[in-house]
A and B are shown apart, each in its own frame.
Chain A
């Protein structure tokens, strides 16, 4: 099978891994994560500012657009460490918005938005709709072109961090064709957003009503590059989510091990019971497989053919493993696991949310099977 990838790292990637490991641990202790759950914005603006200062939003943006000129491979360790420490900010959605512009934006759109995102401006995507279909082309929202004006209508769901974003890239159908439109949030009418109650309380997500919103025709992404745009959304999105989920898996396993090593029952540290020890080992084995797939996907990301296989393997493995490890974390904490105070639920909820946003393990396997067997 010649579309199976390999694994490797870059020097910059490993340097960023070191820096991000310390930064995310220091900036996102669990008390702070929990305090931010009740905060409207949902993240610490000072930390967000620092992330911008560090240039992390510029990593995969070319130098000609004021970026660092590295690739998605170097974004991976950062997203991984953010997931590990539940440091949830518009980092992922903004990075993805930049990748979408690179794949399908017009020159003018790239010139306008990429330097802004590189400097720390948040962007996001509006893709999902009420049918809940992960097939991004199965949508109802539409645009009507009238001269230089495009009138939008319909509703989009799960627009992440829309409260912070200056740019939203929304998918709509125009004359039956899938298109993407850049919307500046400053132009949206009051009440366009409704904050959604989502299962991951560390995230902020909004429903966006497009009715009555219009953009100029040059806010539409390049019609000839819709396929590339979709591919960027699916693959860059999956890579970022896989990284965050893999980091989260490591954290939830560590959290479980700590409890198994301290809690006593029947006069014994409960980690000595094989009923708890063996499944924890099994989850750990799956976690290491997740991380291997993740760094393989990062390494192969730009390879034609191999990239998609590697990314979908990573996404499937990451979601399945995160879900199960967090599920067992709740169970192994006993009655404490049933409480909101136990951190296990944070990870379990996030795993559900990530799968919902990006396609679950089975969805990616179905996509993979077409690449592998047909």
Chain B
């Protein structure tokens, strides 16, 4: 464990980070920047964000807590928190390599071999190696445990057949964390699953872009046709795929491996919405003179403030005793639903101009709000739908019986 810094050390570091982000942050590169790693659509967006992550990493402001011997900074997590805060304060663009840094990296650091750590960690921090996630299948979305992509051991290889879908960055990734079925006769569906650190640049793996409801691209369907990958891509042993996949979810809470830092999804700035509301008119009067709109906006402020404070409360065990899993488990559900309702609400402000979309010169904020609302579904559906989240919270935080 790295030492906890003194106040003076931390202050100095925070000032350096602040100065660095002040100097290096580009907020408007001349094209629209993705708000989340799931929205990277064009080559210029991809190149820009990849380069940005490299720069942040090389400056020491990403992976500051990860072990030095594998490319991290080896520092106490207070340093990374300060760096992430500086990033936020300067409204810096997102880190692009979400699956690598948020899911695969912690898993490898926790359970990987020395060789795997040496091989994978540094290039994922610098975004040289982009990672994607192969969990969902066309026929198995919420029922992840039923994944059917077939992996058959053949000599020193596994031969893969099947398809994965909704894969963000799937056409740009070098590796995929892949959930595949190695045993079709296992006693239950979970026991037949195995987990792979799967290379994407092999014969037999092809991708097809999927057009999103926004009209943009950003995710793909991956087809595996007799694709041969080396057997040492298997991670955690045959039959342990489900527990590996579940582990990746644990890391999100940062208990076992210190979080890598930065953010992969840009928080909506609520003040932008308040500004939009203040500048909107209805019936010849300012929108916020309308008591109904005022009441709704106030309710949103209460909700936003609760979720922001929840993040602080999560680190206060004295206020977490009754159901310690509650706040960590509800965060995704509460936050993604709120963003969806809030961006939808922002369209109500715009009167007739709610009819414009990205690409029209009359669109409010270049269509940012429409795009944000439509894209918000990626978070309420992806990574376990809100409905599945409610099952998880009900079962794991409230102790209600499983839904079958």
Which residues of A line the B interface, CB within 8 A? 1, 4-9, 14, 17, 250, 257, 260-261, 268-269, 271-274, 277-278, 280-282, 284-285, 288-289, 291-293, 295-296, 313, 316-317, 362, 365-366, 368-369, 372-373
Q: Which of B113-165 contact A (CB under 8 A)?
A: none
Known: A288-B326, A296-B309. A316 touches B302 (CB 8 A): yes
A269 to B403, CA, bound (A): 10
Binding site for A on B (CB under 8 A): 270-271, 274, 278, 288, 291, 294-295, 297-299, 301-303, 305-307, 309-310, 312-313, 316, 318-319, 322, 326-327, 330, 333-334, 387, 390-391, 393-394, 397-404
Question: From A313, which residue of chain B is reached at the shortest CB distance?
Answer: B302
The reply to whether B326 and A372 form a contact with Cβ atoms under 8 Å apart is no
Shortest distance in angstroms between B210's beta carbon and chain A's nearest beta carbon? 29
Asked whether, in the complex, the Cβ of A271 is within 8 Å of the Cβ of B333, the reply is no
Chain A residue nearest to B402 (CB atoms) is: A272
* Closest CB pairs A-B (n = 4): A289-B306, A271-B400, A272-B401, A277-B394
- Inter-chain contact B316/A7, CB cutoff 8 Å: yes
Q: How far is the CB of B133 from chain A (nearest CB, A)?
A: 25
Complex Cα–Cα for A366 and B288 (A):
12
Give me 5 other A-B pairs in contact (C-beta within 8 A), A1-B301, A288-B326 excluded: A288-B310, A293-B309, A366-B298, A368-B298, A369-B295
A4: B residues at CB distance < 8 A: 305
- Please list 26 pairs of residues, one from A and one from B, whose beta carbons are closer than 8 Å in the complex, sorted by A's number: A8-B316, A9-B316, A17-B318, A261-B399, A269-B401, A271-B400, A271-B401, A273-B403, A277-B390, A278-B391, A280-B398, A284-B397, A285-B334, A288-B310, A289-B303, A292-B306, A292-B310, A296-B309, A313-B301, A313-B305, A317-B302, A365-B295, A365-B298, A368-B298, A369-B297, A373-B274
A6 to B309, Cβ gap below 8 A?
yes
Chain B residues contacting A368 (CB-CB under 8 Å) are 298, 301-302
By a CB distance below 8 angstroms, the chain B residues around A257 are 398-400
Which residue of chain A lies nearest to B303 when distances are taken between CB atoms in the complex?
A: A289
Cβ contact of B305, chosen from A274, A277, A282, A293, cutoff 8 A: A293
Contacts A274-B391, A278-B390 known; A292 to B313 CB distance under 8 Å? yes
- Residues of B with C-beta under 8 A to A250: 322
A14 and B310 contact, CB distance less than 8 A: no
Residues of B within 8 A of A293 (CB): 302, 305-306, 309
| Given the contacts A281-B394, A288-B326, A260 and B295 also touching, CB distance less than 8 Å | no
B residues near A1, Cβ cutoff 8 Å: 270-271, 274, 301
Contacts A281-B394, A293-B305 given: A272-B403 contact, CB under 8 Å?
yes
Of A4, A260, A285, A289, most buried by chain B (CB within 10 Å of CB) is: A285
Q: Is the CB of A277 within 8 A of B403?
A: yes
Are A14's CB and B401's CB within 8 A? no
Do B316 and A281 have beta carbons less than 8 Å apart?
no
Determine the chain B residues whose CB is within 8 A of the CB of A292 once the complex forms. Answer: 306, 309-310, 313
With both beta carbons as reference points, the residue of chain A lying nearest to B314 in the complex is identified as A292
Across-interface contacts of A274 in B (CB, < 8 A): 387, 390-391, 403
How distant is A234 from chain B, measured CB to nearest CB, in Å?
17
A277 CA to B398 CA, complexed, in Å: 10
A277 with B391: CB separation less than 8 A: yes
A285 contacts across to B, CB distance below 8 A: 330, 333-334, 393
Q: Is the CB of A272 within 8 A of B400?
A: yes
CA A295 to CA B305, docked complex, whole Å: 13
Residue of B271, B291, B295, B394 ringed by the most chain A CB atoms within 10 A: B394
Cβ–Cβ < 8 Å partners of A281 in chain B: 390, 393-394, 398
Given contacts A288-B310, A317-B306, A373-B288, contact A277 B318 (CB under 8 A): no
B345 smallest CB distance to A (angstroms): 15
Docked CA distance A3–B391 (Å): 36
From known contacts A1-B271, A289-B306, infer whether A295 and B400 are also in contact, taking CB-CB under 8 Å.
no
C-alpha spacing A313/B294, complex, angstroms: 14
Q: Kindly state the separation between the CA atoms of A292 and B400 in the bound complex, as whole angstroms.
A: 23
**Chain A residues near B398 (CB, 8 Å)?**
257, 280-281, 284
Residues of A contacting B295 with CB < 8 Å? 362, 365-366, 369
CA distance A159 to B387 in the complex (A): 46
Q: A9-B318, A365-B299, A368-B298 are in contact. Are A282 and B313 (CB under 8 A)?
A: no
| Nearest-Cβ distance from residue A73 to partner chain B, whole angstroms | 13
Contacts of B278 in A (CB 8 A): 373
Q: How far is the CB of A134 from chain B (nearest CB, A)?
A: 16
Q: Contacts of B318 on A, CB cut-off 8 Å? A: 9, 14, 17
Which among A289, A313, A316 is the interface contact of B310 at CB below 8 angstroms? A289
Shortest distance from the beta carbon of A290 to any chain B beta carbon, whole Å: 8
Query: Which residues of B sit under 8 angstroms from A17, Cβ to Cβ?
Result: 318
Asked if B400 contacts A280 (CB within 8 A), the reply is yes
CB neighbours of A362 from chain B (8 A) = 295
Q: Which residues of A contact B390 (CB under 8 A)?
A: 274, 277-278, 281-282
- Among B278, B303, B393, B397, the most chain A Cβ lie within 10 Å of the Cβ of B393
B83 → chain A, closest Cβ, in Å?
21
Contacts of B330 in A (CB 8 A): 284-285, 288
> What separation, in Å, do the CA atoms of A5 and B297 have in the docked complex?
18
What residues of B have a CB within 8 angstroms of the CB of A316 in the complex? 299, 302
* Complex Cα–Cα for A295 and B306 (A): 11
Contact partners of B316 in chain A: CB under 8 A: 7-9
User: Could you say which residues of chain A place their CB within 8 Å of the CB of B310?
Assistant: 288-289, 292
Kindly list chain B residues whose C-beta atoms are within 8 Å of the C-beta of A365. Answer: 295, 298-299, 302
Q: Which residues of A contact B401 (CB under 8 A)?
A: 261, 268-269, 271-272
Q: How far is the CA of A273 from the CA of B403 in the complex (A)?
A: 6
- In the assembled complex, the CB of B317 is this many whole angstroms from the nearest CB of chain A, namely 10
Q: How far is the CB of B329 from chain A (nearest CB, A)?
A: 10
CB distance from B143 to the nearest CB of A (A): 15
Q: Is A284 a contact partner of B271 (Cβ separation < 8 A)?
A: no
Query: How far, in whole Å, are A56 and B288 apart by their CA atoms in the complex?
Result: 43
A372 touches B298 (CB 8 A): yes
Q: Complex formed: what's the CA distance from A280 to B397 in Å?
A: 11
Chain A contacts of B288 at CB under 8 A? 369, 373
Expressed in whole angstroms, the Cα–Cα distance for A292 and B299 within the complex equals 15
